[in-house]
């Protein structure tokens, strides 16, 4: 590797959640990394809600940790509340959510960066990319300083030509109080990359000393803690509550009367906003029959009076926002510290990238995070990790890490981005994965830690902990399958409390398959199980694998069937225009996406099963295929 002045292996542009994971993973794998950001004081900033995880997103965080990323560790180290959502439901939809101290989170991540060899920080705005023969060679900042590099990862968030709106007033900015990144979009266009616009927003922040919490419903954390990272000895911290209030007819009246002051409803914002996280005015219009909406009051950290008003995102004028807030129970006298705002920004539709997150047209150029059309810290961090790994793979001429849909939510996320023509900010949802029963947050290490170890981001010590855990799970499943529990009077007395009864003795695994029986109940009725005193993560895995065995096998069969289409590799130089019996619309979509396999082609919107059949016949009939391809 070349260590000349201003010469790096990798330049990461942006130090949000994608940029941090990209820089750390690339540096840990041996690259000399320049991490550029508009403001060094805002590394790993949470510009929206001060929280990590939630439905589907918690699985992403666990997968990041299993591969050797940092987000899970940072969330565990800085939480002020931990809560398992959907805990009464099945394991596929359970989701951990951490309310974070945002300043502590930022400090933790910056400390990791500053203590990682080979990362060089620089406060700079990258305005131009340099490429020769469609291969990246460097970048130039606003002062005209050129940096040479073999790879560049763009993680620009909402800063790329960002414009903030508060009412009908707007100004150039990527986030409140921070400049926009100007110039880089033009450079990308010169390289032939298509640019579009999206919109997002954030709620107001208020002073907690001016809130009457007695009028709200308290939302405490869990007494039994769960963590994101699979590393041992996670910190036990004091927890702090969130609160719940609701909008009412007066709130809705004020909003409806001021829609003429909304830049979104007046057509001043071109970009499409997030479908699953709409502004409060959008909610009122779209769900006009709903008399009320939940609003959560979330602390931003221990060292600040600032609280976050979740569910109250808006781009209405600041004075209107105050009137709206004052109609909410408990917020009648709330002092607004920061107004809500909308931000419109440039992004690069990800159909222009490969599953490795490298550009299809510009070698060495990677994209990760909101620049790919996603929303959310977790989605960004997952992409940043993969981009950082693959930047090293590209430099080393190694095979790219391309996770499949059946292996992970990360694989599902990236496949959706590069295969589907996303029109609004993409948010990871449980329903987006057809294999969600296999891809749970609790087994992310089983699925991905061997990959993280092979890459080099999981060290031998952590891998040993992982292998010992897997052995413990296997041993316990074997024991439960062999261990018999007698149908004694005392056992049935306990079972009766849970609506169960045993007519005869049965194996522990057979009893555990009953819907009302958990491993904790087994410990209650069986001394042998209780005396083992297994760690929670071990017995929970054993319980899930036994209880849902039939469903898991059915989904594994689905993976196997779908994998048959993955075996049909489509040549890079295929000429779709020469193929008969598929429509012009299908040809356009196939030419745009350039799928690598029939499986990917089948997931492109508008490509019909009949089109896949035609392609399959061509690929199977070698003589015909050679004539066409």
Name the more confident of 100 and 275: 100
**318 and 215 within one domain:** yes
Percent of the chain at pLDDT exceeding 90? 83
| Co-location of 212 and 337 in the same domain | yes
Q: Is residue 266 part of a domain?
A: yes
Same structural domain for residues 474 and 528? yes
Instruction: Please check whether residues 610 and 486 belong to one and the same domain.
Output: no
Q: Is the pLDDT of residue 58 over 70?
A: yes
Q: What is the mean pLDDT of residues 600-612?
A: 86
**If pLDDT is split at 50, 70 and 90, which confidence band does 617 have?**
confident
**Of 28-37, 259-268, 336-345, the least confident:** 259-268
495 part of a folded domain: yes
User: Is residue 365 predicted with pLDDT exceeding 90?
Assistant: yes
The pLDDT assigned to 278 comes to 87
Residue 568 has pLDDT above 90, yes or no: no
Q: Is the pLDDT of residue 622 over 70?
A: no
Q: Which of 491, 523, 551 is the last residue of a domain?
A: 551
Angle between helices 377-395 and 409-419 (to 10 degrees): 80
Average pLDDT over residues 83-104: 95
Q: Which of 441-450, 561-570, 587-596 has the highest mean pLDDT?
A: 441-450
Q: CB–CB of 390/358 below 8 Å?
A: yes
As a whole number of angstroms, the distance between CA 429 and CA 421 comes to: 17
Residue 626 binned pLDDT confidence (cut-offs 50, 70, 90): low
CATH number for position 505: 1.10.10.1800
pLDDT value for 368: 98
For residues 595-606, average pLDDT:
88
Domain boundary among 285, 316, 343: 343
Whether the Cβ atoms of residue 274 and residue 200 lie closer than 8 Å to each other = yes
Stated as kind and residue range, the H or E segment containing 563 is helix 549-566
- The Cα 455–Cα 14 span in angstroms is 24
Instruction: Please determine, for residue 266, whether its predicted confidence score (pLDDT) is greater than 60.
Output: yes
Confidence band, pLDDT 50/70/90 cuts, at residue 623: very low
Shared domain for 586 and 506, answered yes or no, is no
Give the model's confidence band at 333: pLDDT under 50 very low, under 70 low, under 90 confident, else very high: very high
Domain match, 604 and 571 both: yes
pLDDT of residue 375: 93
Co-location of 476 and 604 in the same domain: no
CATH number of the domain at 588, please: 1.10.150.570
Nearest Cα to Cα of residue 390 among 353, 350, 348: 353
Pair 527, 581 in one domain: no
Give the whole-angstrom CA distance, residue 210 versus residue 232.
40
Q: Please provide the average confidence, as pLDDT, over all residues in the chain.
A: 93
Q: Would strands 51-53 and 169-172 be described as parallel, antiparallel, or unpaired?
A: unpaired
pLDDT value at residue 4: 59
Same domain, 209 and 339: yes
Task: Say what percent of the chain tops pLDDT 70.
Answer: 98
Is residue 289 domain-resident? yes
Which of these three, 319, 343, 367, is where a domain ends? 343
| Cα 193 to Cα 284: distance, rounded to the nearest angstrom | 37
Distance CA 411, CA 386 (A): 10
Q: Counting beta carbons within 10 angstroms of the beta carbon of residue 514, is it exposed (0 to 12), middle (13 to 18) or buried (19 or more)?
A: middle
**Could you give the CA distance from residue 507 to residue 480 in angstroms, rounded to a whole number?**
7
Taking each continuous run of H as one helix and of E as one strand, the counts in the chain are: 22, 22
Q: What is the pLDDT of residues 177-220, one digit of tens each?
A: 889 999 999 999 999 999 999 999 999 999 999 999 999 999 99
Q: First vs last Cα of the chain: how many Å apart?
A: 39
> Which residue has better confidence, 583 or 71?
71
My answer on whether 464 and 578 are in the same domain is: no
Distance CA 495, CA 475 (A): 25
Return the H-helix or E-strand segment holding 405. none
Q: Tell me if 572 is assigned to some domain.
A: yes
Residue 538 lies in a domain: yes
Mean pLDDT of 490-518: 94
Q: Would you place residue 226 in the very low, low, confident or very high pLDDT band (cuts 50, 70, 90)?
A: very high
Token pair listed for 538: 């071990």
Q: Clarify whether residues 523 and 584 are in a common domain.
A: no
Tokens in use for 4?
Answer: 């000349």
For residue 509, being part of any structural domain is answered with yes
The pLDDT of residue 625 is 44
Please say if the pLDDT value at position 573 is more than 90.
no
- Domain hosting 484: range is 460-551
**In terms of domains, do 589 and 527 share one?**
no
pLDDT per position as a tens digit, 412-448: 999 999 999 888 999 999 999 999 999 999 999 999 9
Over residues 69-79, the mean pLDDT reads 98
Number of domains in the chain: 3
- In this predicted structure, what is the pLDDT of residue 584? 84
124, 141 in Cβ contact below 8 A?
yes
Single pTM value for the model: 0.94
Work out the average pLDDT over 113-123: 97
Selection from 56-65, 162-171, 283-292, 568-577 with the highest mean pLDDT: 56-65
The 10s digit of each residue's pLDDT in 127-166 is 999 999 999 999 999 999 999 999 999 999 999 999 999 9
- Is a pLDDT exceeding 80 seen at residue 383? yes
């Amino acid at each position: 590797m070349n260590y000349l002045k201003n010469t790096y292996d990798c330049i990461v542009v942006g130090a949000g959640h994608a940029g941090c994971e990209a820089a750390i993973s690339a540096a840990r794998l041996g690259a000399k990394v320049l991490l550029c950001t508009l403001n060094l004081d805002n590394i790993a900033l949470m510009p929206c809600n001060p929280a990590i995880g939630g439905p589907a997103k918690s699985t992403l965080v666990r997968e990041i940790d299993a591969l050797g990323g940092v987000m899970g560790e940072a969330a565990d180290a800085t939480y002020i509340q931990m809560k398992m959502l959907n805990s009464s439901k099945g394991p596929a939809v359970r989701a951990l959510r951490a309310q974070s101290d945002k300043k502590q989170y930022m400090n933790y991540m910056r400390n990791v960066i500053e203590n990682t060899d080979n990362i060089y920080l620089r406060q700079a705005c990258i305005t131009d990319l340099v490429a020769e023969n469609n291969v990246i060679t460097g970048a130039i900042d606003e002062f005209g300083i050129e940096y040479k590099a073999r790879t560049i990862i763009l993680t620009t968030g909402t800063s790329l030509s960002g414009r903030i709106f508060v009412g009908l007033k707007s100004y150039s900015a990527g986030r409140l109080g921070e400049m926009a990144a100007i110039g880089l979009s033009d450079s990308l266009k010169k390289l032939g990359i298509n640019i579009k616009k999206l919109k997002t927003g954030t709620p107001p922040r208020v002073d907690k000393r001016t809130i009457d919490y007695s009028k709200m419903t308290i939302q405490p954390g869990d007494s039994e803690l769960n963590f994101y990272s699979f590393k041992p000895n996670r910190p036990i911290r004091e927890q702090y509550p969130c609160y719940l209030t609701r909008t009412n007819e007066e709130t809705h009246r004020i909003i409806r009367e001021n829609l003429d002051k909304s830049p979104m409803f007046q057509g001043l914002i071109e970009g499409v906003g997030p479908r699953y996280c709409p502004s409060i005015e959008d909610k009122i219009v779209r769900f006009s029959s709903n008399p009320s909406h939940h609003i959560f009051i979330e602390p931003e950290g221990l060292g600040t009076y600032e609280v976050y008003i979740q569910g109250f995102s808006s781009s209405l004028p600041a004075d209107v926002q105050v009137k709206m807030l004052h109609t909410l129970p408990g917020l009648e006298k709330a002092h607004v510290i920061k107004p809500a705002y909308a931000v419109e920004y440039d992004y690069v539709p990800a159909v222009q990238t490969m599953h490795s997150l490298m550009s299809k047209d510009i070698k060495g150029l990677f994209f990760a995070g909101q620049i790919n059309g996603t929303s959310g810290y977790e989605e960004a961090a997952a992409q940043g990790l993969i981009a950082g790994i693959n930047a090293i793979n590209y430099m080393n001429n190694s095979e790219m890490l391309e996770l499949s849909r059946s292996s992970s939510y990360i694989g599902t996320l990236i496949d959706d981005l590069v295969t589907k023509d996303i029109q609004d900010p993409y948010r990871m949802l449980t329903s987006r994965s057809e294999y969600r029963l296999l891809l749970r947050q609790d087994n992310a290490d089983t699925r991905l830690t061997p990959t993280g170890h092979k890459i080099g981001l999981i060290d031998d010590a952590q891998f040993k902990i992982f292998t010992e855990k897997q052995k413990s799970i296997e041993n316990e499943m074997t024991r439960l399958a062999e261990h018999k529990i007698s149908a004694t009077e005392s056992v049935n007395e306990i079972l009766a409390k849970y609506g169960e009864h045993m007519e005869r003795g049965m194996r522990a695994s057979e009893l555990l398959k009953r819907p009302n029986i958990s491993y904790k109940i087994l410990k209650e009725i069986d001394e042998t199980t209780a005396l083992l005193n297994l760690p929670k993560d071990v017995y929970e895995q054993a319980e899930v694998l036994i209880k849902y065995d039939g469903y898991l096998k059915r989904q594994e069969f689905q993976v196997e069937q779908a994998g048959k289409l993955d075996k049909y590799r489509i040549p890079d130089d295929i000429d779709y225009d020469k193929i008969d019996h598929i429509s012009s619309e299908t040809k356009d979509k196939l030419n745009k996406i350039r799928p690598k396999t029939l499986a990917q082609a089948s997931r492109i919107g508008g490509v019909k099963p009949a089109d896949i059949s035609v392609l399959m016949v061509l690929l199977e009939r070698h003589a015909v295929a050679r004539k066409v391809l």
